[in-house]
Structures are given as C-alpha cells and as structure tokens.
Structure 1
Amino acid sequence: MWRLARSVRQSGSSWQLGGGPVARLTVAAGSPAPSGSPGGWYEWLAQSSPVHWSEDGLVALQAAAGLPWWAAIVCGAALLRSAVTLPLAAHQGRLLAKLENLQPEIKKLAEQLHYEVSVRGKQVGWSEKVARFHFKKNLRRIITELYIRDNCHPFKATLLVWMQIPMWVCVSLALRNCSVGALDSEGDPFE
C-alpha cells in the first residue's frame, strides 16, 4: 500500500504534502454531471463535497497519526463510531425506553376510549364500522398527544439509521477514491 508523506500542513481548504500542493483524487477527469454522462450519478456522488471531506479527513488522520493506511482506516471507523454512532445509539435507547413505558398508559386509555365509543355509538346508533372509525381516529389523536407530551415519536428512533447510511456511503466512496488513485488534470499528488 502507498503511504502519504508525514509532513502535512493545511493551507486554506486544500492539504499540502511535503511543501507542494496536492491534486484532489478523482476518478473521472472533468466536471461530473448528475446524469446522461459516462460517469452518471455514481461519479457525481463520488465527487460530492461530503465525500471529499471524508477523503480529507482520512488523509489528515493518516498523516497526523503516522499510521499505515489500514490502521488509519480502523482508527477513523472507531472515531466515527464513538463520536457519531454511540451518542445516537444512546439517544435511541432512551427514546425506545420512553416508548415502552408509554405502552401500559396507551393500553389503559384505549380500553377507556373503547368503552366511551361503544356507549356513544349505542346512544347515536352508529354501525360497527362507524364506531371503529371513530375509535381509531381518537386513539391516533391520543397517542400523538402522548408522543408530544413525552417527546418520543417513534420516527426519532430511526435517526441512527438515517445518519449511518449517508456516513457509510461517504466513507466508502472516499476509500474508493483514495484506493483507485485516479488523478485530476493537475498532476500526481504522490510525486
């Protein structure tokens, strides 16, 4: 495996190795286009800003730590897991515990609502279908109010997944861009 020089300094937004400017690693020369071009959406995604930030972060971590690439990748993964995934997983656990604690209250309120709807249905003369409709509508409203009261909507429990997927894609494409080693028209960054 190739290894970048250890003397890294940052000037502006581009990294410099050994005193000379570094060309950004790219897979396709020229400007990427979202569709209809030879690279298409995949190349457009591989050249996006978050992927380049991931590349820069990996290069900076490798250069700062002076580790071989395989160790820098492992350290980067551990850093992302502890800085991003661990707090989100703790938040998800607290949220799921709140949802679980709401279940007995929801069950009790559902039984009470069922009784009230059946009494009201007999007074007004609702059919079984109309009574079921009113029960479901009011139960949804009650559950939504409980979620708002306890600030624990179930969709918030999916936040971890919605953060991990883009993070995984960006880091994977950054590793791909670094490993392919294709260059811009600016020249070889490893000279």
Structure 2
Amino acid sequence: MYSDLSGSSWVMITQHLLETVHDYTHLPCWATIVTTVSLRLTITLPFAAYQPIIYARLGNLKPEMDAILKELKKETDRAVLVYKWDAKKAKLAFHVCAKKQWNLLVQRDNCHQFKASVLLRCQIPLWVCMSVALRNMLMMLPIQTIDAQILHLSLSTGGFDFGSPI
C-alpha cells in the first residue's frame, strides 16, 4: 500500500516541487522539513481563517430556523386536521419542508456546510502528500536512481555555508 502511495501522481508532483525548492536553495534536511511546514501553512491558512466565518454564519441561522420550525409545526398540525394526514405522512412533509427552508437559508447566507469542512478536506491530503514526498526524498524512493542518491546526499550533508567561525 505504501509503495502505491509513494508512487502516486500527487506525491510525485509534491516531491518534484520540494526537489525544485531544494535545488534552488540548497537547504539542509531540517530546513526542507521547515519548508514543507511553511508551505502547508501557506496553503491552509486562508481556509483556517475562513472556517470560523462559515461557522458563525451557520450559528446565526439557528434562531431564524427555530422560528421557521415552529411555524412549520403549526402548519403541519393544521394539515393533519384539514387533509386527514396520518402521522407518517405529516412527519415526512414536515421534514421535507424543513430541509427546503434550511437549504434556502444556507444559500441566502452563503454558508454551505461543505465550506466549513474544506480545511479538513484540504489539510489531510496535503499533509499526507508532503510527508510521503519528504520521506521519498530522504529514503531515495520510489526508485533508487543516481538522481535520488544525489538528492539524498545533498539533503544529508548540504546546506548553507557561512564560512569558518571567527
């Protein structure tokens, strides 16, 4: 399973990106790890900042939805008496109308639940891809070629040269 993940296209793209950054900066291994963390933070920070806004909008809909549900309950009770609905039909009609009203409120305030979970949906695959790509670079995976050995040697011994201490 790991070999499939290690050679997947997303991991290889991420690995190529990290190798390119390393080739241009000649950072040591510890700095390459810091680069991956910085890159993850740069990509996910906007989503992390937007997520509380969506949760606040959803929270603000609750009082309005509670009032709508009370009104729907009254209308459903009236429909049971007028149209002689059974309990199952009344419950189904109530749930359909409540779902429709909720969707209208969410659409009006532009706070879909998917937007609230986009940070999680972005962060986990990004973390996995970057971690596996970094591991590939450090362990000369998925294929041990001369380029992989050079990269491994560069990561383990390379870095900034500040000259000799005074």
Corresponding position of 1:50 = 10
Count of residues paired in the alignment: 150
Note the alpha carbon deviations across 1:67-89, whole angstroms, 9 max, x for none.
Answer: 321122113212321x2111011
Please give the alpha-carbon distance, in whole angstroms, between the structure 2 residues aligned to 1:100 and 1:70. 42
Residue aligned with 2:60, SS: helix
In structure 2, the residue matched to 1:64 is 24
Shift in Å, 1:186:
5.2
8 Å contact from structure 2 (residues 7, 142) kept in 1:
no
Residues 62, 69 of structure 1: 8 Å contact kept: no
Question: Which whole-Å CA distance do the structure 2 matches of 1:85 and 1:60 have between them?
Answer: 21
Q: Would you say the 8 A contact 1:92–1:157 is kept in 2?
A: yes
| Aligned 8 A contact 1:110 1:139 in 2 | yes
2:94 aligns with 135
Contact 1:85 1:164 in 2 (8 A): yes
Change (3 A) 1:183 1:137: closer
Cα offset for 1:184?
A: 4.3
The Cα offsets for residues 31-79 of structure 1, whole Å up to 9 and x where unpaired, read as xxxxxxxxxx532331223212222222233343443211221132123
| TM-score normalised by the chain length of structure 1 | 0.70
Select the structure with the greater relative contact order (CA < 8 A; seq sep ≥ 6): 2
Q: CA RMSD in A?
A: 2.1
Query: TM-score normalised to the size of structure 2?
Result: 0.79
Work out which of the residue numbers 72, 82, 103 in structure 2 matches 1:144: 103
Tell me what 2:157 maps to: none
- Whichever structure has more helix as a proportion of its residues is 2
Equivalent positions of 1:38-117 (< 5 A) are: 41-81=1-41, 83-117=42-76
Task: Using the TM superposition, name which of 161-170 and 59-68 deviates more.
Answer: 59-68
Output the CA distance in 2 between the equivalents of 1:183 and 1:158. Answer: 32
* Contact 1:54-1:174 within 8 A present in 2 as well: yes
Specify which structure has the higher proportion of strand: 1
Mark the runs of 5 or more structure 1 residues left unpaired by the alignment.
1-40
* Equivalent pair of 2:6/2:133 in contact (CA under 8 Å): yes
Q: What letter is aligned with 2:35?
A: C
Same amino acid, percent of matched pairs: 35
What is aligned with 1:156? 115
Deviations 1:124-159 (A, max 9, x none): 122223222211111011111111112211122111
Q: What amino acid sits opposite 2:60 in the alignment? A: N
